[in-house]
Amino acid sequence: MSETLGEEKQVVTSSAKRMLIVDDEKNMRHMLTSMLGTLGYVVDTAADGTDALKMVNHSQYDFILCDLKMPNMDGMAFLEAAREKLLDTTVIMMSAYGTIDTAVEAMKRGAYDYISKPFKTDEVFLTLKKAEERENLKKENVRLKKRIRKIEHDYSFAEMVATSRSMKDVFELVRKVAGHKTTVLISGESGTGKELVARSIHEMGDRSDKPLVTVNCGGIPETLLESELFGYKKGAFTGADRDKKGLFEEADAGTIFLDEIGEMPQPLQVKLLRVLQGDEIRSVGDSKTQKIDVRVIAATSKNLKEEAAKGHFREDLFYRLNVLQISIPPLRERPEDIPVLCQHFINTFNSSLNKKIKSITPASMSIIRKHQWPGNVRELENIIEHAIVVAEGNRILPENLPPEFISESEKKDDNTMIEGNSLKDAQKALEKKLITKVLTETGGNRTRAAKILEISHPSLLSKIKTYRIQI
């Protein structure tokens, strides 16, 4: 048996694990100590639950083998009394009087497994091996969770994800301004995430438990916008059959987000300026003003300074809004954010669409990164949703992208390929493109790809290395 145990020792443990054996039979304690010592465990013993309780109060054990029926304090009582001390310990119960009900009850109280006496040494070994595998899985799970938290910390901010320096600067500015009532102007192209930035400012500040009211200044007809923003009194106009709160009043003590502020008509710009200067509003049809406490965050896809210079936007309002400006760079200026955004959207749509997409192939990512992204992050989100819906495997392939998307990429590739006057360079570019296409279609199977390309396997490997093709 010693030879078998010597082989098993290398399988069971690579570093010494601490073991406590709790049994009122001296011979059983001696036998288990000898056997488990041979397996590489550092073993302590206790004659009953009372002694074992004292030992776990002063020492941390990886495993405990505990008899069920003992004098003074039995195994069940020990499990109950030591519950808080055994959170990181695997407990295996032993008994000659065991039943299924007893085993279930022991596991309810925190035991991992149950061995009936008399048992063979192999039973103990296999139970411990299974327990160690479980412990290793738990540790791996903890490690992965820590890694995920680190990735989330490094790449995410509120509901946004990014790894670029320019977006990290945006996140830092949001942190600094969130705790103050300072008026903020967020600028950036359509689809860059201006509303997410506004929401982050609100939720990170001390007004997070108060309303965040969002207004699209370009989405409400000019004739209705004033009454929507400031409310109206009964009888102010035809159809005003009751008093109505405006959005500024609804946002009292909270935040109002004025999206596309550059679309606000000039007559209303004057009234907004008065709100920012005096913290008071006047409802349509009312003769009195009302004090409010509202934080104002505005956003625009226009250059308001240029609009003011052209006379399309009030200069005084621009300077009142532009106390602190946060500029969000377009996606084409931060391509390093594209992979992490893609993975974020894959995770999101896997959940909502009940799909199991794991990744994007290098060929697909190459096409995605070449795009100029006029619609920015919102456009990327739509593209990934489209690809996930039509994908049949667990990876996003080039053919899963919208047809016009691929056509645009191929056109760019063709233009790149024919630059210059060298036939050799053109041939190399065409070879690389064709090899990449076939490898993608075969899922990276180089043997099949070589047959389709009608070249030898060694020749294909050589060309993959030469052209630095990654699939």
pLDDT tens for each residue of 282-314: 999 988 999 999 999 999 999 999 999 999 999
Q: What is the pLDDT of residue 240?
A: 85
For residue 420, the model assigns a pLDDT of 56
Q: Quick one: what percent of the chain has pLDDT higher than 90?
A: 51
Q: Indicate whether 195 pLDDT > 90.
A: yes
Q: Is 137 exposed, middle or buried (0-12, 13-18, 19+ CB in 10 A)?
A: exposed
pLDDT at 110: 83
- Annotated domain spans of the chain: 2-143, 160-329, 332-417, 418-471
Report pLDDT digits (tens) over 398-451: 889 988 776 665 555 554 444 556 777 777 778 888 888 888 777 788 888 888
- Write out pLDDT tens, residues 80-105: 899 888 888 899 988 876 666 777 78
| Domain boundaries 2-143, corresponding CATH code | 3.40.50.2300
CA–CA gap between residue 77 and residue 27 (Å, rounded): 23
Report pLDDT digits (tens) over 377-393. Answer: 999 999 999 999 999 98
DSSP string, 303-367: -HHHHHHTTSS-HHHHHHHTTEEEEPPPGGG-GGGHHHHHHHHHHHHHHHHT----EE-HHHHHH
What CATH number belongs to 160-329? 3.40.50.300
In the predicted model, is pLDDT for residue 2 greater than 50?
A: no
pLDDT bucket at 363, cuts 50 / 70 / 90: confident
Do 2-143 and 160-329 share a fold? Answer: yes
pLDDT of the residue at 198: 96
Give the integer Cα–Cα distance in Å for 232 and 285. 6
Q: What are phi and psi of 287, to 5 degrees?
A: -95, -10
Q: Which fold has domain 332-417?
A: Helicase, Ruva Protein; domain 3 (1.10.8)
Bridge-partner residues for 36, per DSSP? none
Superfamily designation of domain 418-471: Homeodomain-like (1.10.10.60)
CA distance to 32, 66, 338, per residue, from 8 (Å)? 15, 22, 49
* Model pLDDT, residue 149: 54
